[in-house]
């Protein structure tokens, strides 16, 4: 578009193609956030909106935490960018140590990227290359899960299992299987925390997939600790632990996608710690720096890193990376955010608040159209009955009505997802639940 054809101001919504958004509906009735502070957004029409989705599962410490803002400002005045290939800057090394230090066992090496999608694709590439470098080059197959979400790269959508994110995009990666979704809505609806269900049928299915293709062809299994974008569904007790045992037995890597669960969401620093499970690779993003500057990472076990260092011929040990990997602003923001997580009692607050939040969300059980509720830590999913022939429509309506009540949550189809900021208190939880209650009633 040339300057002569610059649209008039009243067409200012014209050019932006919005991600994961019904563009036409949005542009007919836009919601614009102009500023934010703490627990609140401020809209262009002057309203204050309580952010009960932590941005998009990322602003776990609230908006514009002063320590994070200061760190970014100081960094931009010192080093705005550093070539990530063959050069480094001090903060990215420091940050890698800080991040690695939070994960169990020998998850010691951190490969920085710019998003959760990039983290997933990076982890899958590491897994396949690792198998090849250690002399198991036939191990190229991948196993994901139905309703799983690992971002929008071709790797992520291939192992992911959300139908709409896959079906428009061709044949995707070859050699991918999907485990069943470990949630039985007949038996597990309205469960609190991890359902008390038998995980062995899921492990049996995994064994069958492995037997079908032979373990010698399978590189990795990738799962989310709980399905976030899929609607907040929590696998039964011991699911991840058993998955670790089965994958280990067959020499298959376990990749755990902690893009949502990393940094406090489950009332623990991360799911690996929460479950006492040591994955081979963990992916993180989002709250790594409180959502302030795009950043993600794949964290790998020492033995994987060592194989790259030892087996790759001299020179570049991994042909992969991004112009903005370990960006100085993202790294500075993350160092500050991690210090806040460590020193401001964030995990303790989350732990203390989680039971109150659980009571609150389950108090919505008898509201109109509610057919299921689940929760873990400070995350919850409330499912409403789909309208005939219009899946997702009712969820969208409840989302909008709740927003009209001054609270932002998220609708993933007919699943309303709630993810309060981890530093909120009971008052904000009450506001969230009451707005949802009104939203559910108004949409009925
Ligand atoms: N993995 C998981 C588990 C996620 O929840 C998300 C984002 N919601 C992603 C990957 C992709 O992250 P991004 O949008 O930063 O690419």
Residue 239 has pLDDT above 70, yes or no: yes
Query: Which atom of ligand 1 lies closest to the CA of 156?
Result: 10
pLDDT for 124 beyond 90? yes
Tokens of 106: 């020998």
Q: Give the pLDDT of residue 186.
A: 84
pLDDT band at 172 (very low <50, low <70, confident <90, very high): very high
Q: How far is the CA of 197 from the centre of ligand 1 (A)?
A: 27
Confidence of residue 219 (pLDDT cuts 50, 70, 90): very high
pTM more than 0.90: yes
229 in contact with ligand 1, CB cutoff 6 A:
yes
C-alpha 210/C-alpha 224 separation (Å) is 20
The pLDDT of residue 9 is above 90:
no
Mutate to test the pocket of ligand 1, among 55, 56, 150 (most ligand atoms within 8 A of CB): 150
257 lines ligand 1 (CB under 6 A): yes
Q: How confident is the model at residue 244 (pLDDT cuts 50, 70, 90)?
A: very high
Rounded average pLDDT over 308-335: 96
187 pLDDT above the threshold of 90: no
pLDDT in tens, 23-60: 999 999 999 999 999 999 999 999 999 999 999 999 99
For range 368-375, the mean pLDDT: 98
Q: What is the mean pLDDT of the chain?
A: 96
Cα torsion angle, 150, 154, 160, 165, sign: positive
> Which ligand 1 atom minimizes the distance to the CA of 116?
12
Q: Which of 53, 117, 263 has most ligand 1 atoms within 8 Å of CB, for mutation?
A: 117
121-140 burial: b if 16+ Cβ within 10 Å, else e: bbbbbbbbbbbbbbebeebb
Render pLDDT for 283-306 as a digit per residue (tens, 0 to 9).
Answer: 999 999 999 999 999 999 999 999
Question: What does each C-alpha distance from 67 to 13, 40, 174, 292, 337 come to in angstroms?
Answer: 34, 18, 45, 12, 8
Residue to probe by mutation, ligand 1, list 116, 156, 288, most atoms within 8 Å of CB: 116
DSSP code per residue over 287-322: GGGTTSS--EEEEEEHHHHHHHHHHSPSS-SS----
The pLDDT assigned to 4 comes to 62
Could you tell me where the DSSP H helices lie in 189-326?
Answer: 200-213, 239-249, 271-275, 302-311
396: helix, strand or coil: helix
Residue 3 has pLDDT above 90, yes or no: no
Does the Cβ of 258 fall within 6 Å of ligand 1? no
Rounded to the nearest 5°, which phi and psi values hold at 13? -85, -5
**Cα-to-centroid distance, 313 and ligand 1 (Å):** 33
Q: Is 235 in the pocket of ligand 1 (CB under 6 A)?
A: no
Q: 1 CA to middle of ligand 1, Å?
A: 32
C-beta of 261 in contact with ligand 1 (< 6 A): no
> Which pLDDT belongs to residue 130?
98
Q: Token pair of 165, please?
A: 């994110």
Question: Which domains occur in the chain, in start order?
Answer: 3-61+345-443 (3.90.1150.10), 70-343 (3.40.640.10)
The CB of 397 under 6 Å from ligand 1? The reply is no
Residue 216: Cβ within 10 Å count: 14
- How far apart CA 146 and CA 305 sit, in angstroms, is 30
Give the tokens for residue 394: 């009712």
- Ligand 1 centroid to 275 CA: how many Å? 21
Residues 392-412 pLDDT 10s: 999 999 999 999 999 999 999
- CA Rg value for the chain: 22
- Asked if residue 116 has its Cβ within 6 Å of ligand 1, the reply is yes
Q: What is the pLDDT of residue 303?
A: 98
The 10s digit of each residue's pLDDT in 64-110 is 999 999 999 999 999 999 999 999 999 999 999 999 999 999 999 99
Which atom of ligand 1 is nearest the CA belonging to 114? 15
pLDDT at 2: 54
pLDDT at 201 over 60: yes
Q: How far away, in angstroms, is 417 Cα from ligand 1 center? A: 15
The pLDDT of residue 7 is 56
Which of 22, 134, 179, 110 is CA-nearest to residue 326? 110
Mean per-residue pLDDT for 212-232? 98
Nearest to 282 by CA among 297, 264, 265: 297
Determine which residue's CA is closest to atom 13 belonging to ligand 1: 116
Q: Is the Cβ atom of 55 under 6 angstroms away from ligand 1?
A: no
d(CA 243, CA 271): 14
In Å, what is the CA distance from 256 to each residue of 50, 98, 277, 400?
Answer: 31, 19, 10, 33
Residue 318's pLDDT band (boundaries 50, 70, 90)? very high
Average pLDDT over residues 204-212: 98
Query: Rounded distance, CA 439 to CA 425, Å?
Result: 21
Residue 150 confidence class, pLDDT cut points 50, 70, 90:
very high
Residue 79, number of CB atoms within 10 A of its CB: 14
Is the Cβ atom of 291 under 6 angstroms away from ligand 1?
A: no
pLDDT of residue 144: 98
């Amino acid at each position: 578009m040339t300057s002569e054809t610059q649209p008039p101001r009243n067409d200012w919504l014209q050019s932006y193609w919005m991600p994961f958004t019904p563009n036409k509906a949005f542009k007919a009735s836009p919601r614009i956030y102009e500023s934010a502070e703490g627990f609140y957004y401020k809209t262009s029409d002057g309203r204050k909106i309580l952010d009960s989705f932590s941005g998009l599962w990322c602003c776990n410490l609230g908006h514009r935490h002063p320590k994070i803002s200061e760190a970014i400002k100081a960094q931009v005045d010192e080093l705005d960018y550093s070539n990530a290939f063959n050069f480094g800057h001090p903060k990215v090394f420091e940050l890698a140590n800080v991040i690695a230090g939070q994960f169990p066992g020998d998850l010691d090496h951190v490969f920085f990227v710019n998003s959760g999608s990039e983290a997933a694709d990076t982890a899958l590439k590491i897994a396949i290359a690792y198998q090849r470098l250690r002399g198991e080059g036939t191990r190229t197959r991948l196993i994901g899960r139905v309703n799983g979400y690992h971002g929008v790269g071709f790797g992520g959508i291939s192992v992911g299992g959300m139908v709409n994110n896959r079906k428009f995009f061709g044949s995707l990666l070859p050699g991918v299987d999907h485990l069943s979704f470990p949630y039985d809505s007949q038996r597990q609806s309205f469960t609190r925390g991890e359902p008390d269900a038998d995980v062995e049928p899921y492990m049996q299915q995994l064994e069958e997939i492995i037997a079908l293709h032979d373990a010698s062809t399978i590189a990795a299994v990738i799962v989310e600790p709980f399905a976030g974008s899929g609607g907040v569904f929590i696998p039964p007790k011991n699911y991840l632990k058993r998955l670790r045992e089965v994958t280990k037995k067959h020499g298959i890597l376990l990749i755990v996608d902690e893009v949502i669960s990393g940094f406090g969401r489950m009332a623990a620093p991360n799911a690996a710690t929460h479950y006492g499970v040591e994955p081979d690779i963990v992916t993180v993003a989002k709250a790594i720096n409180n959502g302030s500057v795009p950043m993600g990472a794949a964290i790998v076990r020492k033995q994987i890193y060592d194989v790259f260092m030892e087996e790759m011929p001299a020179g570049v040990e991994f042909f992969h990376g991004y112009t903005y990997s370990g960006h100085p602003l993202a790294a500075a923001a993350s160092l500050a955010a991690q210090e806040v997580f460590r020193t401001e009692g964030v995990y303790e607050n989350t732990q203390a608040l989680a039971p109150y939040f659980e009571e609150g969300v389950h108090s919505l059980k008898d509201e109109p159209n509610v057919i299921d509720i689940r929760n873990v830590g400070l995350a919850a999913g409330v499912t409403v009955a789909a309208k005939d022939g219009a899946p997702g429509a009712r969820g969208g309506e409840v989302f909008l009505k709740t927003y009209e009540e001054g609270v932002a949550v998220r609708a993933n189809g007919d699943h309303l997802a709630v993810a309060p900021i981890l530093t909120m208190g009971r008052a904000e939880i009450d506001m969230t639940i009451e707005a949802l209650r009104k939203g559910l009633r108004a949409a009925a």
